[in-house]
Amino acid sequence: MIKKIYFDTLPSTNTYAKEKGKDGAPEGTVIIAGKQTGGRGRRGRNFHSPENGLYFSVILRPCCKAEDALFITTCAAVAVVEGIKKATGKDTGIKWVNDIFYNGKKICGILTEADADLNGNLNFAVLGIGINIAKPEGGFADDIKDIAGALFEESDSDLNEKILDSVLESFFFYYENIDKKEFIPKYKEYSVILGKEIEVHSPQGVRRVEAIDIDDECHLVVLENGIRKELSSGEISVRF
Ligand code: BTN
């Protein structure tokens, strides 16, 4: 059952949801904020979260190992694409692993955080999603203005709610049978990188490869100098 809890402002819906999760909040508790003052992204980055966005975190209590939390994120990426399509008619796409793009710009980020015991069993997970529904007043901050985009020019709170409900509906549809991985074919269908030349960024430098597939473990399969390789994580970039 979904229970939504709203805030005008929070430092981070993920941080708040983790506290609620530790206090025993049930699966399906959704924390929503109109803006975040300390929104968190992957790799310890900030996630710029001004007004006009949709920022929410879902508490999940799946019966799987912490490492399977990767599938929560990929399942959520599919749900965001489908939820936005259903609510607005707009076509967005997934840039592996978990960024959602619209018209060549990132409009959504997803951060799943797991709370696990010493054996690696999940106590709970927090799925955090931030969607730029409309452009912030005054535009995006300088450091992200070239890569960040929004779905609309103008904000509309009814639309935020519609998108939230559609994304949640789509997410729980796939999540109920997450072990069947029914979202993987959809993930591939919505990918904006398959068949394209991409750059893989690692501490060793930047490599050019061709993205050819996403396997059942959500690894990105690439061809590098004619050799097939599987990437399990990492930063990639693509020219649209
Ligand atoms: C990323 O792109 O690096 C992931 C960004 C995830 C942002 C969302 S917004 C809601 C939730 N609360 C947070 O602090 N982060 C996630």
Please give the number of the atom of ligand 1 that sits closest to the Cα of 41. 3
pLDDT at 202: 86
Residues flanking ligand 1, CB < 6 Å: 12-14, 36, 39-42, 45, 47, 49, 55-57, 99, 109-111, 128-130
Calpha distance 49→95 (Å, rounded)? 20
Query: Cα(41) to centroid of ligand 1, in Å?
Result: 5
Please give the number of the atom of ligand 1 that sits closest to the Cα of 12. 14
Per the listing, tokens 């103008």 go with 154
Kindly give the confidence (pLDDT) of every residue in the chain, 240 residues in length, as a single tens digit, with 9 standing for 90 and above.
999 999 999 999 999 999 999 999 999 999 999 999 999 999 899 999 999 999 999 999 987 776 667 799 999 999 999 999 999 999 999 999 899 999 999 999 999 999 988 887 889 999 999 999 999 998 998 999 999 999 999 888 889 999 999 999 999 999 998 888 999 999 999 999 999 999 999 888 899 999 999 999 999 999 999 999 999 887 888 877
Q: How confident is the model over 49-89, as pLDDT tens digits? A: 999 999 999 999 987 776 667 799 999 999 999 999 999 99
Please give the number of the atom of ligand 1 that sits closest to the Cα of 56. 10
Calpha distance 141→133 (Å, rounded)? 16
The pTM assigned to this predicted structure is 0.95
CB count within 10 Å of CB 225 equals 8
Query: Cα(56) to centroid of ligand 1, in Å?
Result: 8
HEC string of the chain equals CCEEEEEEEECCHHHHHHHHHHCCCCCCEEEEEEEECCCECHHHCECCCCCCEEEEEEEECCCCEHHHHHHHHHHHHHHHHHHHHHHHCCCCEEECCCEEEECCEEEEEEEEEEEECCCCEEEEEEEEEEEECECCCCCCCCCCCCCECCCECCCCHHHHHHHHHHHHHHHHHHHCCHHHCCCHHHHHHCECCCCCEEEEEECCEEEEEEEEEECCCCCEEEEECCEEEEECCCEEEECC
Contact yes or no for 91/206 (Cβ under 8 A):
no
Query: Cα(99) to centroid of ligand 1, in Å?
Result: 11
Mutate to test the pocket of ligand 1, among 4, 10, 14, 143 (most ligand atoms within 8 A of CB): 14
Contact yes or no for 192/82 (Cβ under 8 A):
no
pLDDT at 209: 95
Q: How confident is the model over 209-224, as pLDDT tens digits? A: 999 999 999 999 999 9
